[in-house]
Chains A and B, each alone.
Chain A
Amino acid sequence: MLGQREMKAGRVNQNRGLRKPPAWLTWSLATIVLWGAWGLVSKIASAGVDAYVNQLLYTAGLAPLLIFVAWTVQRRGAQENRNGRAAGVFWAFLTGILGGVGNIAFFQALVKGGKASVVAPVTALFPMVTVLLALVFLKERLGRTQWVGLALAFVAIYLLSA
C-alpha cells in the first residue's frame, strides 16, 4: 500500500515535472520583469536626483549581489581554468566601466526629459552597435535577419525621436 502510494506520488511529481517550464524560460522571464521595472524606477528617481548621485546609489543597490557572486566565485574558484584569466578580467572590468558610463548616460537622458517609454526602447537597440563592431573587428558575418534588424533599428530611432 505504502509502495503504491509512493509510486502514485512519484507519478504525480513526474506529471508536475512535465508541466514545469524549463529553467531558461523562467530565468528569461525574470530578466524581462527585472529590466522592465528598472526603466520605471529609473524614471521615478530621475525626478529628484542627478546622474552622478544615481550612479552611487545604483552601486549601493548592486552591492548585495556583488557579495553573493563573490562568494559563488570563491567557492568554485578551484575548478576554474586559470589560462587567460588576466585578459578575461581586464575585458570584464572594461565592460563594467563602459556599462557604468552608459548607465550614467541612460539616466541623464531621463533627467533631461526623455520619457521612460521612449528612452528604454531606444537604448535597447544597443545590439546594433555590437553587431556592427563584430562585423568590423571580429570579422563575423551578418545574416539576412540581422541586416533587416539593423535597418529597422535606424527606422525605430527616427520614429521614436519624432
Chain B
Amino acid sequence: MHIWLGFAILALVLWGITGVTQKLSTNRISSDRSFLWFCWAMVALSAVVLGLARPHWGLATVVVVCSIAGGALNGLGAWTSFRALESGGKASIVISLISLYPLLTVLLAVLLLGERLSGMQMTGALVAIAAAILLSLEGPPKPKA
C-alpha cells in the first residue's frame, strides 16, 4: 500500500468519526456555538503542535499564502454548509450536493497542476463521488424500541 493512501484513509476515518461527534454536539447546542468550539479546538491543537513538533520555517511566500488560504477556505466551507442547512435546504439534498466538491478539486488539479489520472483512477474518482452522495442520503427511521 502506498504511504499516502494510509494517511488518506486515516483522514477519512477521523473525519468519519467527526460526523458522529458533530451530530452529538449540534443535538445540544447551536451550529454556530458548535463551530466556534470546533475552531477553538483547532487553536488548541496548533498550540500542541507548536510545543511538540520542531517546525521548519523559512518558507516560500506562495506556500505560506496557500496554507493560510487552506484554513480560510476549509473553515468558510464548513460555515457555508451550516448556512445551507439552516436556510431551509433538506439535509439529504444539501449534503449530497456538497459531496460533489472533489469533482472541482479533480478538475482544478488536472487543469492547473497538470495531474494525470489513469482510467482506473478516473473511474474511481467518479465512483467515490457517487458513493459519497449515496451515503449522504437519509436512511430509514430508527425502529421504535
Contacts and interface: CB of A to CB of B under 8 A. Distances in A.
Report, as a range, how many residues of chain B touch the other chain. Answer: 35 or more
A98 B89 CA distance: 27
Contacts, number: 470
Interface residues of A, number: 118
Interface string A110-129: 10111111111111111111
Interface of A: 22-25, 27-45, 47-50, 52-62, 64-66, 69-70, 72-73, 76, 80, 83-85, 87-106, 108-110, 112-134, 137-143, 145-146, 148-150, 152-153, 155-162
Contacts of A56: 46, 49-50, 55
Interface string B43-74: 11110011001011101101110111111111
13 contacts: A25-B84, A35-B104, A41-B70, A50-B56, A58-B70, A61-B67, A98-B17, A110-B4, A116-B109, A124-B132, A130-B19, A148-B134, A162-B121
B45 A44 contact: no
Given A33-B104, A143-B140, A160-B125, 12 more contacts: A22-B89, A27-B84, A45-B63, A52-B55, A54-B67, A59-B45, A60-B68, A88-B28, A105-B10, A115-B115, A128-B12, A146-B134
A42 B70 contact: yes
Given A47-B63, A116-B115, A24 B84 contact: yes
Given A69-B32, A95-B41, A62 B72 contact: yes
